[in-house]
Structure 1
């Protein structure tokens, strides 16, 4: 069991923000825009990112020391999502949120 540090609370906040951003953008902006926004690899990456962010926040909130593993994976998936979003017009805010979450998760995984 670990104590909730300000750094962990910040990571939880970033993960939940990234979850909302990726899921919201995928289900609204991307589905409505179509084209490259709904290209299978991009869309799957966004959904995977949202779910991994939710899972990492969940593990940190439960007090599990295993959060380090989910945070490491989350950082990697968030980076992949950011790269995918950066190649598509109108996805800049999603890419930026993914980068912030990745950086926070890297600190928690260390």
Structure 2
């Protein structure tokens, strides 16, 4: 009888061990971010590279929780996600390690 009672108590305790915790992601509200350039005054249609602008409306319409999810919608980026919160970006067919000395403005 003691073994049966002990098994029942262990089953009840084990049920709570695997219960889900609440969402641990924090949400931060940022002020408006202004990005500017001083190299040349060239119209967007005259730039030979592909430039994508992700505006506020697009950010609000995407079901994303981090920047990697937003960048997955870009056609020229390859997002590689690792377990946890780590992810790397490959651009224009190159691996992420090829961009060790390049900078991208996000």
For the superposition of Structure 1 and Structure 2, which TM-score range results when normalised by the shorter chain?
under 0.3
Bigger relative contact order, structure 1 or 2 (CA pairs below 8 A, ≥6 apart)? 1
Bigger Cα Rg: 2
| TM-score, structure 1 as length reference | 0.27
| TM-score, structure 2 as length reference | 0.27
Kindly indicate which of the two structures has a greater share of residues assigned to helix: 1
